[in-house]
């Protein structure tokens, strides 16, 4: 992963993202907004990814994997959710 985030576009990418033990998965939905989950969270499901990204071709939503910067690990641990929202806001 080169930058702080990348968009998950395929089932292979989805499987890799949910198998991670670091970082966050951000689900951007035009109806419900952005939801941030730890990578590997059980609320991030294959069924929902297939519907939103594969079947509907990202028409109303996207999935992003945001990595945790290693050099700022302690700071990210203290306020990780705020940092993820800032990263996503800048990226979009």
Task: Determine if the pTM surpasses 0.75.
Answer: no
pLDDT digit string, tens, across residues 74-87: 554 556 666 665 66
* Burial tier of 78 (Cβ tally within 10 Å: 0-12, 13-18, 19+): exposed
Positions of the chain with pLDDT under 70:
1-3, 68-92
Distance CA 44, CA 46 (A): 7
**For residues 29 and 52, is the Cβ–Cβ distance under 8 A?**
yes
């Amino acid at each position: 992963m080169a930058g702080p985030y990348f968009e998950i576009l395929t089932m292979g990418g989805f499987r890799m993202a949910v198998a991670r033990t670091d970082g966050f998965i951000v689900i951007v939905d035009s109806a419900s907004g952005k939801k941030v989950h730890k990578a590997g969270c059980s609320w991030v499901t294959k069924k929902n990814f297939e519907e939103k990204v594969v079947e509907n071709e990202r028409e109303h939503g996207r999935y992003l994997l945001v990595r945790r910067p290693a050099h700022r690990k302690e700071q990210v641990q203290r306020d990780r959710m705020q940092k993820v929202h800032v990263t996503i806001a800048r990226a979009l």
